[in-house]
Each structure stands twice: as structure tokens, then as C-alpha cells.
Structure 1
Amino acid sequence: MQAMKSLFVCSFLFSFLSISTTTTLDTIIPSRSMRDGETLVSAGGSFQLGFFSPGSSKGRYLGIWYSVDIETVVWVANRETPLGDSSGVLKVTEQGVLVLLNSSNSMKWSSNSSRTAGNPVSQLMDSGNLVVKDGNETNPDNFLWQSFDYPCDTFLPEMKLGWDSSTGFDRYVSSWKSTDDPAPGEFSVRMDRRGLPQVVIMKGAKITARVGSWNGLYFAAYPYPPQTRENQILGRKFVLDKDEVYYEYRLLNTSIFSRNMVNPSGIVQRFTWVYQRHSWELSYTLQADRCENYALCGAYTSCSINVSPICACLKGFVPKSPKDWNSGYWSDGCVRKIPLACSYGDDFLNYTGVKLPDTSSSWFDKSRSLKECKGLCLKNCSCTAYANLDIREGGTGCLLWFGNLTDIRQFTSGVGQDLYVRLAASELDHIERKSKFNKKKLPGILISSAVLLVGTLLIGLILYIRKKKLRNQGVRSIDCTKHYLGEDREDME
């Protein structure tokens, strides 16, 4: 596979070199700039940096693309300030700042490094990261600036999605306005830091879909079983501490190209490069069905794509607006049948295999046990549910919800998590009695059904035999009549 990757990269580089006036190496320095028509090529040949015009646009942009597919641009510098012609120049200053100049030597874009370097170098890494650093520095923490801190519509391996808690710096992915305009569009993929951090997809300031919180193995909305191809080619990492909260992934096989992107319509997709077909294969789409729409069913509901209707109230709850609910408008959600009794007389109903609710109004503690978690929830009248924070090693940590529970999904493939929803004890007793009653009735229903089936078969068999017997008797009667009439005819003659 590595040899095949190198072959494709080399063939594309050769074809690109044939149409480009000049191609530099992977770095530029203050004494050597890069003009439109020239490119930087990463040391391993995976990525190129150069000027391009997207779609039908006549504007010129500085961007990074794959060497195997020059049409797939993964990062753009001057997203909102295109150049009007092909006279653009990229330079790195003596202070270590990247600047993009037009024909009149006016600056159209620059990196915003606050630090300076004695020997500044700008280098295109084989990860697709454009960096500015001092000399031969290799520690990313010491880079003056890097494009990975400013993603566009593509989330690449080794990028971080999330926050630097100490500075408030936010790394997020934002869509293009259109296929012809790389300016930031309406949609973004971000880390929501409220409560337990979770990844959300937003349209402006409104959440449209929720990838969910991290449970130690995967995000709540996308529980990949261990044997899936995704887990065989990707290594995932989630960091949550006092300094940072972020998610990143890496390719376990470096000969593979894989990328996540949010398109101008707000759909998040993963693509993997297939060398044999020389094209991108769609690995998955995050918003694959209606249950992925954020809070489609409203509060205290669950969504299951395999049943109809797909929305259902949680046990112990009823539709807030029955008329709207019955007409297929579920956004108002459900309300409790019986109010909570606070710390006296409340208990919990366990839901298994679910996508955990929105964690923006939650609290968590990594050291608490599940039993302690239940006790903490009962002591707080506003607590509505609890669950394990981490599902590894049988489950550890405590996660509490306060207020409404929204955006729950019921999985059917043996994945998902346990969620304990708070109910009044009387309501829980009613649910348990009903469940036991149904369990007791089940054997009787099965026996009655079996007796009815056997009885129906016996009656059918008796009727069939009787009908056949009557038919045979009828045939014999006809034969006798014919015989009698025959003898009379002979006597008359």
C-alpha cells in the first residue's frame, strides 16, 4: 500500500510539474518567497501548497490540497479576501510572520503570531499542516504559528477540535459558503464546553445535530463496535483537563488518506482515498437519518429510527401537546405524569443501549462510583438522571443531568449506554407492576394462542373430512339413480 501511495503521489507531482512554472521544496525563508504558479510540496509528497481558483470563481486563493487529488482543497489562507489576479506572493518576514501580498504589494492575509524567531522558516508538513517555526524546531508546542490551529471545512488527522482553556482559543471547523466560495459558511463543528464537553454541529448559533460527549471509547451518538473498519484504521484521543479540552484522531496506517469535512449544506462526512479507483470513498455521514436532527422529539423522549412513529415519550411521561404529538409534531416533547417528590420517594428507571442526553446542563466527577452518583442525584431536587462518565472497565465516574433530558436516541444493535432516569416512586411502581403483569400474562397468551391454533386446525380437518365424505355419498347416489333408470328403460322396451 505504501508503494502504491508513493506511485500515485509521484505521478500527480509529475503531472502538476508539467503545468507549473516552478516548484520549490517544502519550505520558504525570508530570502525566498513563493509566487502564483509555484508550489510547496511536503517532504513525503502527500500535500501541496499553492494558488488556486475554486469552481467557477475567478478569485485566487492560497490553499493546501492532496497531491493525489489537486481538486480536494483542505485549507485556505485568504478565505474572505481573494486575490483579483495571479500576481499573488507568499512571504515569511524576518520576524516569522507569513504574509500574502497582491500586485500592488498590499497585504491580503497574514498569520497572527505574537512571537518572533531568530531564524524563521515556513514549512509544509506531510500531515498537511503549514507551520512557521524557528530554524529546525520540531516540537509543535514551540511553533510560532500553524494552520492546524485555524481549520477550514476539513478536519484532518492530528488536528485538534476544541479549546485551550488557559487562553480561550477555540479550534473549530466551518463550512465553505459554496463550492465556488471558501469564505466561512453557515455551518460549523465545535466543542461545546457547557457541562460535560460535547461535539455539536451548528447553523449559526443554533445546534442542528449532536455528536455527543466522549465516554472513554467513542462519542455518544456514534458507538462503533470494536470490529468496525473505523476502529481498525483510526486511533482516537480525547483530552479533558484544566488546560485543554479537545478531540483528535490519527491514522494507524500512514499509507491511507482519510479526512472529515462539513459541506456547505452542513452535512459532516468522512472520506477515505481508494488508490485502486483513484477516488474518494464515502466512509460515513453523521446526519444519516432523522433521529440525528437535534432534539427532534423534544424533552423526555427517545428517538428510534426502526419504529413508527420514531418518537416516543419516556416511561412515566406523556405528550405535552397531545394534538400536536398525534399529528407528527413532536418538538414540544413530553411531561411527567406524576411530579417528583424530591429526595423522598423518588427512584430511577434504567434505560439500556441509548445515546445519552444533551450534556450542556450536566455535572461530572471522574472519581465517583455509580452508586455514589445515584445518591448525589437523589440529594438534589433538580437532578433528573445519572450515568457512568466512562464505560471502560465496567464503568467509572459520575455524570448528572439537571433540567430537561433532550436528544436521547434508542439504539438497536447492542451498543449505547445505560441511563438512569428519575421518576416518582409511585410512577415507577406502576411501571414495574405493569411490566410484571405483562410478563405474567405472556405465558397465558401464548398457551391460549396455541390452543386456538390447534383448535382451528382440528375444526378445519373435520370439515374437510365431512365435506369429502358427503361428496363421495353424492357420487354413489347419482350412480344408483342411473342404474335404476336404466332397468326401467329396458322393461318398457
Structure 2
Amino acid sequence: MATTNIVLVHLLTLVFLLFFSSLWTPHVADWVIVTSGNLSSIGDTLKPGDTLNSTSYLVSQKGTFALGFFRRIDIISNDSYVGISDMADPMSAFNLYVWFGNRGHPFVKDKTGSLTLDNNGTLKIVRQGESPIMLYSSGTNNTVATLFDNGNFVLKEVNFDGSTKSVLWQSFDYLMETLLPEMKLGVNHKTGHTWALTSWLTTEIPDYGAFSLEWDPKGLELVIKQRGVVHWKSGVLRDNQFENISPDITSMYDFKVVSNEDEEYFSFSNKNKSVLMSEWIITFLGVFKDLRGPDIGRADNCYSYDTNGGCQGWEQPVCRERGDKFYLTTGYYVTGDSLSSNNYSLGISDCKAICWSNCSCAAFTYQYANETGCRFWTGETAVQSDRAIDFLFLYLLSSSPSNKG
């Protein structure tokens, strides 16, 4: 029993370190390409009749992006996704994943899948035992699907000489939580399609999370929402400067705004072309940042009474006072009532919102090892931090008895 306890302590300590290091980069995790034998690149393009599966992957011409089947290395889940990684070495465990074609519909353990461009020009993800995910159906076999060095996977109709006739579909239209140069935030008025970032649910689960980053073409500003409620605004963009973003940050980028009858959108690029390409992300906590640079906006620091630094006010319970905040600590509640929500679609930011709106809630954490579900503490509470086996990540309200004491 003693040996078991020691092992648990070491495991929990490791989880603690990994948790804090991953707060800002939830998608840079232990993922690898799925392989069932010899793995090989088949170039950068799928032609009619080609299939991509666990024995092959695409790599862009200059080797900056790879497209294949990826899964996490952990004991919690063996779910896998067809996606695009920002490094040409598909065996690396620390890549950035900028697009998943089956987001929200992973391949589960022991189920196979493939990405296929069939002879009718249909680009689809085939899943064993389930209906295929149709990305685009063109009805013509004069098509190719190419992975480009900017990270865009493009299905296009081509002429007989191989030149592009039209772009039919592209991964840049289906954003996850990452904005790359040349990607758009905004709306296509011709199709009604919107371009917006949506955070991951947790550090481990790339399903749709609580936060979105959007472009408001009328206000000429960037907006962070949590489950549709505005929490943060950048302020109006004027002369390449946002009101609520430091000039030290905006000076690193060039911004582009397009507004016409067809589309309205925002995009960015690096001013210094010699540096590595910037990658903007919105994390599962509501942090808006450059993965290789500074924080840009912090919706996670916004509370409903707060209107500083771009934070927006919204309706709050009468019991919450100015200055009330949640603080991350470790330990275990030894008094007070514990309530649970077994909803796997809830992430830690959802737990925070639920606890904030409940006047009797003093602390919360997640319910399951994959950081979903919620556990809440109410009433008179106290924390002790010396019981490593009962170790928990606790978000403690500043006005709770244990913090006041």
C-alpha cells in the first residue's frame, strides 16, 4: 500500500506540472501520427482515386506542414483525428494542430478511417462502421487536393493543363482555435459562412470549447465570447493599433481589413518576415495569445463587474462583489458540501461560470481525469494542502472563508 501511495504522489506531481505548463498551449501535447506499419509520404497532393490512411501522410512542398491521422499518447483516450500539423516531421510529439477534419467525431479505439478523393471528385473522411464525413462533393473528376506551405489544404478543379480552374473547398474556411497568416476572421456574405476560432474543450479534447474569437466588422474589433456572451473586446482598429492591445504587441504585425459586398474579414501577418510564422490561438481558458509570442487578450481575467483592459460587463448575481475572483490552488476540501455535474461536454471554464452564478458556490474543479465535468463546494469550507493522495486542482473564490482566513 505504501508503494502504491508513493507512485500516486509522483504521478500527481507530474500531472500538476503538466497541467500548469499546458494552460497556455492546450494543443501542443503528446500527439503522434497513427501508423499501422511502414509510414510514408505520398507527396503534397491527392488525385482522384487516392486514399490517405494510417500508412501514409501528405507533406507540403517545403516541408512546413503535414497532413495525416493523429492521436494522443495517454492512457485516457485512443481517439484519433485526420488533421494538419505545423511540422513536417509527423512523428514529433510536440506539433501544433491547426485543423481536424473530424473534430467532434474522432475515430475511437480499434476503428479505422481514411481520407479519400474518389473518382467523382468527392473529398470525404471514411469511418469504419459509421457514415462518412463529406467535406465536399464536386461531381467532376478534374480535381486535386493539395496541402500548401501556409497550412491550407485545398480542393480545386483543374483544367486539362493542370492549371487551377476554381477553388472548391479549403481547410482555411473551417477554423479550430488557431489563426495563421492568410486565415480570415469574419463573414462571407455570398455563402453566409463565418470564420471564427473556437477553443478546445480541454487540454486533451479538441471538441468545441467554451470560447470563440470573432471579428466584428461593424465595430472593427476583435471579440472573445464565452458560450455566446461577450467577455472581451480589442477596441476599434485604427492605424494598425487596437485600443485594448499594447502597441508593443501590435507593432509586431500587419493587419488587413476587407469589406465589400462579398465578404468582410480581418487577417494578420508578421512584419518581420525572417521570424517564424506567428500562430494566434484562443485557449480553453479564454487566453488569446501568439503561440510564439505574448498574450494578446485575457478573457480569463474578466469578471462581470470588470470593464478594464477590454473586459466587458454582463449580468451577474447580486452576491458577487467587485474584487471577487477565483484563485487556482492545490489541496483538498475537508468541510463543506460537494456537488457534482457529470456532463462530459463541460470544460473547466464552464465550471467557473456555473460556480460564479451560484451564490453558495465557493470552489470548483473538474470531475474526470480528462478535465471534463464539474465538482463544486458550497457552504462553510476549508482547504488543507498536505494530503497528496487527495490532491486536487481547486479554483477557490477570493471571498471564501478559507481565503479570508
Structure 1 SS opposite 2:238: coil
TM superposition shift of 1:157: 1.0
Over 3 Å counting, the alpha-carbon distance change for 1:229 and 1:188 in structure 2 is: closer
Q: Who is 1:134 aligned against?
A: 157
Match among 261, 282, 293 for residue 242 of structure 1: 261
Asked if 1:94 is matched to 2:114, the reply is no
Structure 2 contact 48–141 (Cα < 8 Å) conserved: no
* Aligned-partner residue type, residue 219 of structure 1: F
Query: Deviation per CA, 1:287-307, whole angstroms, max 9, x where unpaired?
Result: 1895xx377446xxxx479xx
Q: Who is 1:72 aligned against?
A: 96
Asked if 1:258 is matched to 2:278, the reply is yes
Query: Deviation per CA, 1:210-234, whole angstroms, max 9, x where unpaired?
Result: 123322322222142xxx47535x3
CA distance in 2, matches of 1:264, 1:201: 12
Length-normalised TM-score, structure 1: 0.50
Query: Deviation per CA, 1:220-265, whole angstroms, max 9, x where unpaired?
Result: 22142xxx47535x32211123332111112341651320111111
Structure 2 SS opposite 1:182: coil
CA distance in 2, matches of 1:143, 1:82: 27
Length-normalised TM-score, structure 2: 0.60
Over 3 Å counting, the alpha-carbon distance change for 1:94 and 1:251 in structure 2 is: farther
Bigger relative contact order (CA 8 A; separation at least 6): 2
User: What residue ranges of structure 2 are gaps of 5+ in the alignment?
Assistant: 1-32, 313-317, 325-405
Structure 1 SS opposite 2:231: strand
Q: Who is 1:268 aligned against?
A: 288
TM superposition shift of 1:205: 1.4
Q: Percent identity?
A: 27
Query: Deviation per CA, 1:398-430, whole angstroms, max 9, x where unpaired?
Result: xxxxxxxxxxxxxxxxxxxxxxxxxxxxxxxxx
Structure-to-structure mapping, 1:31-430, within 5 angstroms: 31-54=49-72, 56=74, 57-67=77-87, 70-84=94-108, 85=110, 87-104=112-129, 106-112=130-136, 115-135=138-158, 136-138=162-164, 142-193=166-217, 195-224=218-247, 228=248, 231-232=251-252, 234-252=253-271, 253=273, 256-272=276-292, 282-287=293-298, 290=301, 293=302, 296-297=305-306, 303=308, 328=322
Q: Who is 2:402 aligned against?
A: none
Over 3 Å counting, the alpha-carbon distance change for 1:239 and 1:216 in structure 2 is: farther
Q: How many matched pairs?
A: 276
CA distance in 1, matches of 2:177, 2:309: 30
Structure 1 SS opposite 2:68: strand
Structure 1 SS opposite 2:251: helix
- Structure holding more helix per residue: 1
Q: CA RMSD in A?
A: 3.4
Over 3 Å counting, the alpha-carbon distance change for 1:79 and 1:288 in structure 2 is: closer
Over 3 Å counting, the alpha-carbon distance change for 1:35 and 1:261 in structure 2 is: same
CA distance in 1, matches of 2:243, 2:303: 13
Structure 1 contact 90–100 (Cα < 8 Å) conserved: yes
Structure 2 SS opposite 1:178: coil
Q: Which has the larger radius of gyration?
A: 1
Structure 2 contact 249–296 (Cα < 8 Å) conserved: no
Structure 1 contact 65–72 (Cα < 8 Å) conserved: yes
Structure 2 contact 124–136 (Cα < 8 Å) conserved: no
* Aligned-partner residue type, residue 80 of structure 1: G
CA distance in 1, matches of 2:190, 2:309: 40
CA distance in 1, matches of 2:242, 2:139: 39
Over 3 Å counting, the alpha-carbon distance change for 1:304 and 1:43 in structure 2 is: closer
CA distance in 1, matches of 2:300, 2:285: 15
User: What residue ranges of structure 1 are gaps of 5+ in the alignment?
Assistant: 1-14, 273-281, 312-322, 331-493
Structure 2 contact 48–120 (Cα < 8 Å) conserved: no
